A and B are shown apart, each in its own frame.
Chain A
Amino acid sequence: AQSVTQLGSHVSVSEGALVLLRCNYSSSVPPYLFWYVQYPNQGLQLLLKYTTGATLVKGINGFEAEFKKSETSFHLTKPSAHMSDAAEYFCAVSEQDSSASKIIFGSGTRLSIRP
């Protein structure tokens, strides 16, 4: 069975500071990994995804994540936070080569940006 653990339900950083949101996964098969962002009163939007190949994945709005198989991690980073980055972020995992397309989501991390 697959699972996702997001460390920290709430992270607060200053504008211009590094953003680091932690995600660890559990999967018995090679995973696909995702980060989704949810702005207030909106649905989820895909930020970035890892499927195969390069382990450093770049997404929208300056975010990136690195797949580390040895650590079963997929942490999300951004070098310099912007006020517009304030949102809820969800890490998610699914099985490669699965026809079911099902995704397991973490419980989310709320990112706040201090002026």
Chain B
Amino acid sequence: DAGITQSPRYKITETGRQVTLMCHQTWSHSYMFWYRQDLGHGLRLIYYSAAADITDKGEVPDGYVVSRSKTENFPLTLESATRSQTSVYFCASSVRGSNEQYFGPGTRLTVT
């Protein structure tokens, strides 16, 4: 049972480049979430999805794009990476109505 996985685990990219972070879950959970974790800010919600083809903005969506063509995948794309997007990114999923989220291991992204 793989659960929820993220790839890559570590990524270094340059300012202005497009980067896609992948998230895959094997539980068929309805909801999926993307957070970024920065020192002093805890976790901040970037985007979330209630089901395939349904996405909505979170607290800090600017500079990010998401899609969800399949229930199990929820990729996050930085269209033109900036240094301020250097962070650790976590994907999570939950069953509808549960309010309990299950987290992936994270992707550490560095933008130079």
Q: Specify the main secondary structure of chain A where it touches its partner.
A: loop
Q: Is A84 engaged at the interface, CB distance under 8 Å to the other chain?
A: no
CB-CB nearest in chain B for A96: B99
Total chain B interface residues with beta-carbon distance under 8 A: 26
Hey, what's the 0/1 contact readout for A30-50 against B, CB within 8 Å counting as 1? Answer: 001010100001111110010
When distances are taken between beta carbons in the complex, the residues of chain A under 8 Å from B97 are: 99, 101
CB contact between B45 and one of A44, A46, A98, A102 (< 8 Å): that residue: A102
Complex alpha-carbon distance, A103 and B106, angstroms = 18
Would A105 and B43 count as touching, CB distance under 8 A?
yes
Task: Name the interface residues of A92-115: CB closer than 8 Å to any CB of B.
Answer: 94, 96, 98-103, 105-108
Bound CA span A87–B15, Å: 32
- Flag if A107 contacts B100 (CB, 8 Å): no
Report Cα–Cα, A105/B42, bound state, in Å. Answer: 6
- What CA separation (Å) do A96 and B99 show in the bound complex? 8
Interchain CB contact under 8 A, B42 and A101 = no
8 Å CB interface, B8-43 against A: 31, 33, 35, 40-43
Residues of A within 8 A of B (CB): 9, 32, 34, 36, 41-46, 49, 51, 90, 94, 96, 98-103, 105-108
Nearest first, the 4 closest Cβ-Cβ pairs linking A and B are A43-B103, A107-B42, A105-B43, A44-B103
